[in-house]
Chains A and B, each alone.
Chain A
């Protein structure tokens, strides 16, 4: 399956190979992007998408291969080379300086200055404003927004600022790496509108995504990578999710759905005993009189828009942030939560959001990341860490959870996102928790790792645990949860029960509609 010959291609990548210390990250990769198209790059973690993007952006230099733009061969050795040729990249990690205004961020490093000749030191904000004003307005950024520090904006607006920053210097090709990560459903759709608008401005987009369902109706072409090689390109209108999954992972989608139905939770029985109960928990203005309870064998989903207080609720339960009133009961006994260490000891554990900054301890090894929440288990006399038993435990988790690493002593930062997340889940399981809280458990990991994490959550619950799952993606919540609570402005505004039964009756759309309406604050039909 070769890349279709595209005589009208704007960007042509041919035979690009990149090796790192004997490991081949890209092998003889081809890609061709036509003018004004949205071109999706697909592949599991480690398939080579990021490396290819880094090659195009000038972050890494390829060992072999050529890159041609409009028939002209390019030598991209550093990021400024890429920019000079009109190739701009919006990386997954936002690169904005929070304390600077939108305008200053857009022109960072390319400022326009005024002043006497030879002494042009004053920032010419007037000219800069004039230059981007209309472009910014097209993307919904007002004049006032330009003067505000970016740190005050939400995820979508920051993303938009990045895009405006990229467009201010008129790129021919815009590379978007996982642009929807951290966005809410409605924000995603607005971003997609922006992407269409860009295509209409004759900009070509290379779009990296893990969310196959986002492609349809938006992307024109999809190129699939696997193990550092190009599997092939297809027009998106001629393909299906199943087809793409097969190309990404090399086996049929039907084979992937092996032992378990991913569509519906199994348990349709009565819930077990109550494990955790919150009564009128408030915390300043971010949480207001939240009452809930979780039972053994249950997955409780928490839905809500950004800023609804979901993460704050999780942090309050874990004792990370102090609650101002209300009470927390574990196994029927009131607990005074003062610190997360106390909650871990009492049988609570949490997989935090934002794995890279809040989940992993990047400089520590996989084994050390697993043991950190329960060092007692691997220490002698309660204070000397026994490295042998620490490694042995990590080894058990590596096998049982199929964490793909050659060595549990490797630093966790060198693992792929999905494997990092499994390590964090192992850390939690290692504390033998009765309640496990997952905050955005599958953010930024590929479909196959996502299924693995979902199965870990189900296994935990099937073994008698209770799970609370927070997710922005409503579909994920419906797939996993037995019951969903919806939050809005720090309050619980609704509860949807009996989700497995509803799915069994094919009432998915109804459930989704109720959750979305409650979260957005519209009346339920």
Chain B
């Protein structure tokens, strides 16, 4: 390996190009408005961004397995509503948290079950549950008051701090580390990648593809539930339509980070970096006095630019390192393998 190939390999790692882009974007915003990196501003925007980062990580699991989950946004909204309702009804904070997470779990199980047992397209199933969860939140918010709830315990999850850093930040970091470990180091993670690369080939190699895919929807649901709990904690009140559209931000963030929609490629930290990129852009625009009506246009352009940038970087690395099939095949036989041929026996004549 020649010098420079090490650098190329690092650049080719999923998420690295976008992480470099993120650092550049942060530096630019810091120059434009020096308050950008002030601790209070950072903790504020992280607190806002963490719920979406959680569902980004959840949906990244589904996408790595070659699937898609559109229900996560409204499920997070419904979970937030359920948490507020539970706490407002006088239940202790831990129970409220459990109610929120369990709401996500239920949706994950239903999605996974219908998709894997009946073999129905995941896009359709999760589009349906997106509507069901959104509708349930509307019904819930019309029947019970989801505002003005006095719940200091719940609020402390996002508004309190531990060792000087917001508690929600710790929660998120622990979740990210655990999920990264699950994806990259465990038997489940490996089977998930195999499933995403080719579910047919994985099945023939003895991977129980249906169970793997079921599990990804459960993970996605549970993380949407956790996102809902943090939303409830930060907002203290929930309106109908909360969470709608979050799924697209989450999917865009994951893809921006290098999680391939074709499946089989990606990582948790890459998805987080992609999600952070979108959150950072919004924060930077806000601090620079850009009218919020333009945010969605900028976000859209950023997604396209970012993905093009990332793929070009990957392609460059691939071209430098691999060169193409035939070359590799020659490289694999380092010339005149007479010795190895000698032990290969006769040819049909």
Q: Which residues of A contact B (CB under 8 A)?
A: 19-21, 23-25, 45-46, 48, 50-51, 54, 60, 213, 227-228, 241-242, 245, 249-251, 253, 255-263, 318, 320, 339-341, 343-345, 349-350, 352, 357-364, 368, 371-376, 379, 382-385, 402, 404-406, 414-416, 419, 427, 431, 447-448, 451-452, 455, 475, 479
Determine whether the beta carbon of B206 is less than 8 Å from that of A344.
yes
Determine whether the beta carbon of A364 is less than 8 Å from that of B330.
no
Q: Which of A251, A362, A379 contacts B341 (CB 8 A)?
A: A251
Give every chain B residue within 8 A of A375 (Cβ-Cβ).
187, 190-191
B185 contacts A by Cβ under 8 Å = yes
Determine whether the beta carbon of B190 is less than 8 Å from that of A385.
yes
Determine whether the beta carbon of A414 is less than 8 Å from that of B203.
no
Q: Which B residue sits closest to A255, measured CB to CB?
A: B342
Known: A23-B331, A320-B204. A404 touches B340 (CB 8 A): yes
Known: A357-B198, A359-B201. A364 touches B332 (CB 8 A): no
Binds A, one of B27-35, B247-255, B321-329: B321-329
B349 contacts A by Cβ under 8 Å = yes
Known: A23-B331, A258-B342, A259-B343. A385 touches B186 (CB 8 A): yes
* Min CB–CB distance A467 → chain B (angstroms): 17
* Min CB–CB distance A343 → chain B (angstroms): 7
Known: A341-B206, A341-B208, A363-B265. A260 touches B345 (CB 8 A): yes
Determine whether the beta carbon of B322 is less than 8 Å from that of A361.
no
Determine whether the beta carbon of B332 is less than 8 Å from that of A24.
no
B188 contacts A by Cβ under 8 Å = yes
Determine whether the beta carbon of A25 is less than 8 Å from that of B198.
no
Determine whether the beta carbon of B344 is less than 8 Å from that of A452.
yes
Determine whether the beta carbon of B333 is less than 8 Å from that of A404.
yes
B320 contacts A by Cβ under 8 Å = yes
Among A261, A350, A363, the one with the most B-chain Cβ atoms within 10 Å of its Cβ is A363
Give every chain B residue within 8 A of A54 (Cβ-Cβ).
326
Q: Please, how many angstroms separate the alpha-carbon atoms of A357 and B197 in the complex? A: 10
Residues from 176 to 217 in B contacting A, C-beta threshold 8 Å: 185-191, 193-194, 197-198, 200-208, 210
Determine whether the beta carbon of B342 is less than 8 Å from that of A406.
no
Chain A proximity mask over B37-48: 1 for CB below 8 Å, otherwise 0: 000000000000
Q: Please, how many angstroms separate the alpha-carbon atoms of A50 and B327 in the complex? A: 10
Q: Please, how many angstroms separate the alpha-carbon atoms of A376 and B186 in the complex? A: 10
* Min CB–CB distance A495 → chain B (angstroms): 24
Give every chain B residue within 8 A of A358 (Cβ-Cβ).
198, 200-201, 204
Q: Please, how many angstroms separate the alpha-carbon atoms of A448 and B337 in the complex? A: 11
Determine whether the beta carbon of B325 is less than 8 Å from that of A414.
yes
On chain B, the number of residues with a Cβ less than 8 Å from chain A's Cβ atoms is: 51
Known: A340-B204, A427-B205. A261 touches B346 (CB 8 A): yes
Determine whether the beta carbon of A23 is less than 8 Å from that of B330.
yes
Determine whether the beta carbon of B340 is less than 8 Å from that of A46.
no
* Min CB–CB distance B55 → chain A (angstroms): 25
Determine whether the beta carbon of A256 is less than 8 Å from that of B345.
yes
Determine whether the beta carbon of A404 is less than 8 Å from that of B201.
no
Known: A364-B193, A404-B333, A431-B206. A50 touches B326 (CB 8 A): yes
B297 contacts A by Cβ under 8 Å = no
22 A-B pairs (CB sep. < 8 Å): A50-B325, A227-B330, A251-B338, A258-B346, A262-B348, A318-B204, A339-B210, A358-B200, A361-B201, A361-B202, A364-B193, A371-B190, A372-B190, A372-B205, A376-B187, A383-B186, A383-B187, A402-B343, A414-B329, A415-B329, A427-B205, A479-B348
Known: A227-B335, A253-B349. A451 touches B329 (CB 8 A): no
Known: A363-B264, A383-B186, A383-B187. A23 touches B347 (CB 8 A): no
Q: Please, how many angstroms separate the alpha-carbon atoms of A21 and B183 in the complex? A: 33
Determine whether the beta carbon of A241 is less than 8 Å from that of B349.
yes
Among B188, B190, B320, B348, the one with the most A-chain Cβ atoms within 10 Å of its Cβ is B348
Q: Which of B202, B203, B338, B347 contacts A451 (CB 8 A)?
A: B347
Determine whether the beta carbon of B197 is less than 8 Å from that of A343.
no
Q: Please, how many angstroms separate the alpha-carbon atoms of A97 and B341 in the complex? A: 40
Give every chain A residue within 8 A of B188 (Cβ-Cβ).
383
Determine whether the beta carbon of B332 is less than 8 Å from that of A416.
yes
Give every chain B residue within 8 A of A25 (Cβ-Cβ).
324, 326-327, 330
Known: A46-B332, A362-B197. A385 touches B204 (CB 8 A): no
Q: Which A residue sits closest to B210, measured CB to CB?
A: A339
Determine whether the beta carbon of B340 is less than 8 Å from that of A475.
no
Q: Please, how many angstroms separate the alpha-carbon atoms of A253 and B349 in the complex? A: 9
B293 contacts A by Cβ under 8 Å = no
Q: Which of B197, B208, B333, B349 contacts A361 (CB 8 A)?
A: B197
* Min CB–CB distance A99 → chain B (angstroms): 18
Give every chain A residue within 8 A of B202 (Cβ-Cβ).
361, 372
Give every chain B residue within 8 A of A20 (Cβ-Cβ).
323-324, 326-328
B7 contacts A by Cβ under 8 Å = no
Determine whether the beta carbon of B330 is less than 8 Å from that of A262.
no
Give every chain B residue within 8 A of A350 (Cβ-Cβ).
204
B336 contacts A by Cβ under 8 Å = yes
Q: Please, how many angstroms separate the alpha-carbon atoms of A248 and B29 in the complex? A: 63
Known: A258-B342, A364-B193, A475-B348. A406 touches B206 (CB 8 A): no
Q: Which of A48, A253, A372 contacts B194 (CB 8 A)?
A: A372
Q: Please, how many angstroms separate the alpha-carbon atoms of A287 and B178 in the complex? A: 47
Known: A20-B324, A21-B320, A419-B332. A364 touches B207 (CB 8 A): no
Determine whether the beta carbon of A46 is less than 8 Å from that of B346.
no
Q: Please, how many angstroms separate the alpha-carbon atoms of A383 and B183 in the complex? A: 11
* Min CB–CB distance B325 → chain A (angstroms): 7
Q: Please, how many angstroms separate the alpha-carbon atoms of A241 and B346 in the complex? A: 12
Q: Which B residue sits closest to A375, measured CB to CB?
A: B187
Determine whether the beta carbon of B345 is less than 8 Å from that of A455.
yes
* Min CB–CB distance B2 → chain A (angstroms): 8
Q: Which of B190, B198, B329, B348 contacts A368 (CB 8 A)?
A: B190
Determine whether the beta carbon of A364 is less than 8 Å from that of B333.
no
* Across the A-B interface, the 8 shortest Cβ-Cβ residue pairs: A257-B346, A20-B327, A20-B323, A344-B206, A46-B329, A21-B323, A51-B326, A414-B328
Q: Please, how many angstroms separate the alpha-carbon atoms of A222 and B46 in the complex? A: 68
Q: Please, how many angstroms separate the alpha-carbon atoms of A344 and B203 in the complex? A: 11
* Min CB–CB distance B3 → chain A (angstroms): 14
Determine whether the beta carbon of B335 is less than 8 Å from that of A406.
no
* Min CB–CB distance A351 → chain B (angstroms): 9
Residues from 282 to 313 in B contacting A, C-beta threshold 8 Å: none
Determine whether the beta carbon of B193 is less than 8 Å from that of A228.
no
